A and B are shown apart, each in its own frame.
Chain A
Amino acid sequence: MVLDQLSGDVSGAARPAADAPSPARTASDAGGRRPALLILPALIALAAFFLYPLALVAWNAFTDPTPGLGNFVWFFSEPANLATLGRTFTTALWVTAVSLLLSYPYAYAMTVAGPRVRGLLMMLVLLPFWTSLMVRTFAWVILLQDTGVINQLLGAVGLGPFSLIRTQTGVIIGMVQLLMPFMVLPLYAVMSGIDGRLLPAARSLGARPATAFVTVYMPLSLPGVSAGCLTVFISALGFYITPALLGSPTDALISQQIFTQVNGLLKWGRGGAMGVVLLGLTLVMIALLAVSLRRAGRRVSR
């Protein structure tokens, strides 16, 4: 599977720099000689509750109401659908980019901070992570609305009011906050495996601090960047609650249009086709990323 390859590459690329034993190796040793037995329960659960329903959805896409490609023809011939698909991908890209920009320095700070500050930073990432998605999204409604906290504060210093809720900006703000832990944690995992002595070494060879960081540190952190970006991007593609509550129906994402087809119109074939298109495009993205990652990994090890 592509995903296996990907995670293999992540640890593989980090290994040259890490002086601790590879975590992947330790895990497989603990599994003993029968790893198949250990993953069997998960496989069965996956087959019964994920693969089987997924197959049903795909089956619906090609057979409901009549067998054939009708649902896909419909999907690609409606400009509104393509606009929604495009909007879904651009929103997910924005969310990924903003998350990365905010998380990279944060994760780096975690690696250079002392144990106490690091613990605090870790808590700051994990606390919201443990809070229900609904609670956090409703909190954003209260913060972002026209008469909300943010606009009141801005109003007090003579700015605004800005339209934050029911806009794509509001959706991106909410989604970034919800998804940031998925960016910070893999970044931190990889960065904490990078040998801290490499930067002084580069500088002792004459590199300026910025050059040392960009040419030595950043390439080594790339596996974390890709793992984080991939997780955030794919999660963002399928987000439903947050865009539904923070966005306007005018900027609906594909998950909301699937809801319209499945629950409003009871057209399960069309809903299924939209799901299949989204899944297909996501798999293509993963494959592209896996390929580019392997190239990058090879460059680093050379």
Chain B
Amino acid sequence: MPTISRFVAVSAAAASLLLAAACGGGAPAPAQIDLGSGPAAAGTVKKDALKDVTLTFVSYGGVYQKGQQDAAADPFAKESGARVLQDGPTDYAKLKAQVDSSNVTWDVVDSDAIWAQAQCGKLLQPLDYSIIDKSKVPAGLATECSVPAMQYGMVLVYNAKKFGANPPQGWADFFDTAKFPGKRAIPGVPGDAAPGPWEAALIADGVAPDKLFPLDVERANKKLTSVRSNLVFWKTGAESQQLLESGEVDMAMVWSGRAYAAVKNGAPFQVQWNQWMPIMDAISVPKGAKNPKAAMAMINYYLGAQQQAKLTELTSYSPVNTDAKPALDDLGTSFLTTRPEVASKATPIDSKWWAANQEAMIEKWSAWLGA
């Protein structure tokens, strides 16, 4: 049957072409780039230093990534001459697939900061701090493989209509279902475990906030189990916001950015900043990225005071440059976690411990959730 065999040959040729295209062979070698002499200064890049360079910035989409694009990525592209593409959302499995197959198309990646610390040297490469100026980054937040992308917090919010006269004072009250009856929402993000529920449970169980680490997970789970019938688990930030806006819960442990959005939309909630927990996103460069120097030049630009101020104005997240002076309305200002009166109330989180133990913690958290 000659027709069939010709057809097979054509199809096979087409399929192999397709495969070759999918494997994306023939990527250009890293361009020779000159970022100029002298020490790096955050928020700057040598004019037209990155002509012919294409970078892909990856983040979580929505208002956040749009803010990053407008505040940093697009101005950087304009000044450096680089072409900056946007992609997302950040997907750890996709990044792993890229690194494992040595076909990395993501250059600058926004991710959870603890995850970035845990992946240093595995999926992410060390940063060159002669290209990146970290002198204005708040102390201790820049690590070997990542710098912070912004700061926010895991906060306690309560329905001011219900508890306004006698508001909960901290996590002990969050777990006190006799004094504060009603449903409370806490994170239950599939495949993730992060600072929040366990720390709060331990504080409520009497552990001093500065003696939390290493976390006693058994004890924390016992405390959580004791209020389980009052708990609602949110799986995405959008869901947590929806729970506040629809009035499904009376108290919640949520990301401050989502609390801000819900309050702005008219949800009658207030933040109890006492014992809030700082969290942040990080930006980093994947191992095997095609042009790491250019990627780090972009990170250096991202950290500038102006860029950070604008990012905060656009997203409500707090800046990671100590000189940044965002212009915000009263509500926006009240959600800045970098204000001294808020910062002083934070529960310290041992992100090194979390990075070292996150994998085991994800399994323990998933097991408790599914029990």
Task: List A residues at the B interface (Cβ < 8 Å).
Answer: 34, 36-37, 40-41, 44, 48, 80, 83-84, 141, 145-148, 166, 244-245, 248-250, 252, 256-257, 259-266, 268
Contacts and interface: CB of A to CB of B under 8 A. Distances in A.
B207 interface: no
Task: Tell me what chain B mostly uses at the interface: helix, strand, loop, or mixed.
Answer: helix
The 4 A-B pairs at the shortest CB distance, nearest first, are namely A264-B191, A260-B191, A249-B188, A249-B369
A259 B11 contact: no
A70 to B, nearest CB: 15
Given A48-B15, A147-B247, A36 B4 contact: yes
Contacts of B1: 34
Nearest to B3: A37
B103 to A, nearest CB: 15
A250 B234 CA distance: 11
B190 interface: yes
B190 A250 contact: no
A268 B97 CA distance: 10
Nearest to A36: B4
Interface string B188-206: 1111100000000000000
A141 B362 CA distance: 27
Interface string B334-371: 00000000000000000000000001001100110111
A293 B180 CA distance: 58
Nearest to B16: A48
B15 A263 contact: no
Interface centre among B189, B248, B366 (most CB of A within 10 A): B366
Task: Tell me what chain A mostly uses at the interface: helix, strand, loop, or mixed.
Answer: helix
A80 B370 contact: yes
Nearest to B119: A266
A37 B1 CA distance: 10
Contacts of A268: 93, 96
Given A40-B7, A40-B11, A249-B235, A259 B370 contact: no
A252 B365 CA distance: 13
Nearest to A84: B370
Contacts of B359: 265
Nearest to A83: B370
Contact of B192 (A256, A261, A264): A264
A167 to B, nearest CB: 11
A250 B229 CA distance: 12
A260 B366 contact: yes
A263 B92 contact: yes
Given A40-B11, A257-B366, A265-B363, A248 B188 contact: yes
Contacts of A262: 93
B190 A259 contact: yes
Contact of B362 (A48, A245, A260): A260
Contact of A80 (B11, B190, B248, B371): B371
Contacts of B367: 80
B248 A147 contact: yes
A232 B332 CA distance: 49
Given A41-B11, A44-B15, A250 B370 contact: yes
A31 B362 CA distance: 54
Given A147-B246, A249-B190, A263 B93 contact: yes
Given A34-B3, A260-B191, A252 B369 contact: yes
Contacts of B173: none
A44 B93 CA distance: 27
A263 B93 CA distance: 5
A263 B370 contact: no
8 contacts: A36-B4, A80-B371, A248-B188, A250-B188, A252-B190, A252-B370, A260-B191, A268-B93
A264 B190 contact: yes
A254 to B, nearest CB: 11
A256 B190 contact: yes
Nearest to B189: A249
A261 B190 CA distance: 10
Contact of A145 (B93, B192, B246, B371): B246
B191 A259 contact: yes
Contacts of B369: 249-250, 252
Nearest to A33: B1
Given A44-B11, A249-B370, A265-B191, 14 more contacts: A48-B18, A80-B367, A84-B370, A146-B248, A245-B235, A248-B233, A259-B191, A263-B92, A263-B191, A264-B92, A264-B192, A264-B366, A265-B359, A265-B363
B31 interface: no
Given A48-B18, A263-B91, A250 B366 contact: no
Contacts of A148: 246
A127 to B, nearest CB: 26
Contacts of A244: 190, 235
